[in-house]
A = this chain, B = another copy of it.
Amino acid sequence: MQPYWATHFMLPGQEHSQAQAVGESLEQARESVAAMVGCDPFEIVFTSGGTEANNLAICGQLSQAASARVPAAAVPLAKRSRAVSSALQSHEKTTVGRIHVLVSELEHDSVLAAAFSLAGDRVDVELVPCQENGVVDPAQVESMLRANTRLVCLQLANPVLGTLQKVREVADICHNRGVSVHCDATQAFGKLPVEVSQLRADTVSISGHKFYGPKGCGAIYVRRGLHLSPICHGEPREMGLRPGAENIPACIGLGAAAHLASRCESEVSDNFAELSDRFLNGLESSLGKSPILLADGSPRIANTMAIEMPCDASAIQKAARQLVFATAQSAEPPDEITRSLKAIGRTETQIRRTIRISLGWTTSRDQIDRAVSLIADACDTVMAR
């Protein structure tokens, strides 16, 4: 990224050979991201992160249907890209009556908030419950589809439980009914190979900093032929879906991270499995009892574990400050950890005792052993009180 802050500071749209070179680097970065997800480069749109990607997928598909305004009136100076024009046409066909959106209850705040921002007298948003194993049942989704369902949102990997959702099965069911599927896969990249040809979702969100790319940068896969409208307005860039000067250094960084992730996702995945076993076995030995790994037995990304402890998790956190992990917060509305744990039927007490811990590419066996010892010591301290 470094040279793109200062030396190669131009923007692709400018009239200069250096600007063209920057444009070529940007397109190479797009190709690296496309290679990671197995799509064509023009199906990748750079965003400012996963939250914007989720909002673009959801509001970009549905906001015009949710609104009473006549979008054709927005023409005079606003530049209408082909994508926008097509979206307006498809909108004109379908605005009669209400539309329906299904969102899994395990989704990230940005997915839920984007969907519920549209809810009102034209859009119904309904939550799809997940099973106690942390997986949404595709048959459940199917049973909730209505004639006017337009979109189903289902994440790939849950950031709290690590559970993998059956996105492909759901997508096949939905596509048979003419329903689009948005998959927030931000938590999965860099942890296991993700191929959109396998997922079959129409839009897929990517967040740079979740797989060692830069903060402030993400991307969205938009299936060729899918009509989205931009959620931010201005000069048409990024296939007409995202205006504003391109964040060149960050896009270059995202491309590099994608290249790295493509090369090591399989290996990393095996490593996570070994290290998480070592962690759980270590905890069992130290605590003298088997720790409860939630959603154990479900397909999961092995690096992400929600573990029920024998005592209060926030007390453990206070007693093991050197170790960074997450616990449920008593906030209103509930935080993501509380929501995910409630979704699989955990009680308030169980939720208060649960830690969410994750491993990274560079996590070593020594670090695992140290983490076990810190947690075990903290539990001793807490339980001795």
Contacts and interface: CB of A to CB of B under 8 A. Distances in A.
Contact of A215 (B50, B69, B246, B333): B246
Interface stretch (A105-113, A172-180, A283-291, A368-376): A105-113
Interface of A is mostly: loop
Given A48-B52, A113-B233, A117-B78, A122 B69 contact: yes
Given A16-B324, A215-B248, A333-B79, A243 B113 contact: yes
A123 B67 CA distance: 12
A354 interface: no
A70 interface: yes
Nearest to A117: B233
B243 A51 contact: yes
A108 B79 CA distance: 12
A243 to B, nearest CB: 5
A12 to B, nearest CB: 12
A56 to B, nearest CB: 9
A235 B273 CA distance: 31
Contact of A69 (B14, B59, B66, B246): B66
A68 B121 contact: yes
A48 B244 contact: yes
Given A48-B52, A231-B231, A245-B215, A71 B120 contact: yes
A232 interface: yes
Contacts of A119: 69, 73-74
Contacts of A214: 5, 249
A215 B5 CA distance: 8
A194 to B, nearest CB: 20
A68 B122 contact: yes
A49 to B, nearest CB: 5
Contact of A121 (B48, B69, B113, B326): B69
A48 B46 CA distance: 12
- Please state the number of chain copies in the assembly: 2
A121 B70 contact: yes
Contacts of A77: 112-113, 116, 127, 333
Contacts of A14: 324, 326
A15 B324 contact: yes
A91 interface: no
Contacts of A217: 216
A70 B248 CA distance: 39
A250 B49 CA distance: 13
A120 B69 contact: yes
Nearest to A326: B15
A232 B51 CA distance: 8
A5 B2 CA distance: 11
A269 interface: no
24 contacts: A5-B214, A14-B324, A48-B52, A51-B234, A52-B232, A66-B69, A67-B68, A68-B69, A68-B121, A69-B122, A75-B116, A77-B112, A77-B116, A77-B333, A78-B113, A78-B116, A110-B233, A110-B235, A113-B235, A117-B233, A214-B249, A215-B246, A216-B249, A250-B250
Closest 9 pairs (CB-CB, A-B): A69-B120, A216-B247, A68-B68, A110-B234, A51-B244, A113-B233, A48-B48, A78-B116, A78-B113
Given A48-B52, A67-B68, 13 more contacts: A5-B214, A10-B324, A14-B324, A48-B48, A66-B67, A69-B118, A73-B120, A74-B116, A77-B116, A79-B333, A109-B243, A215-B250, A250-B250
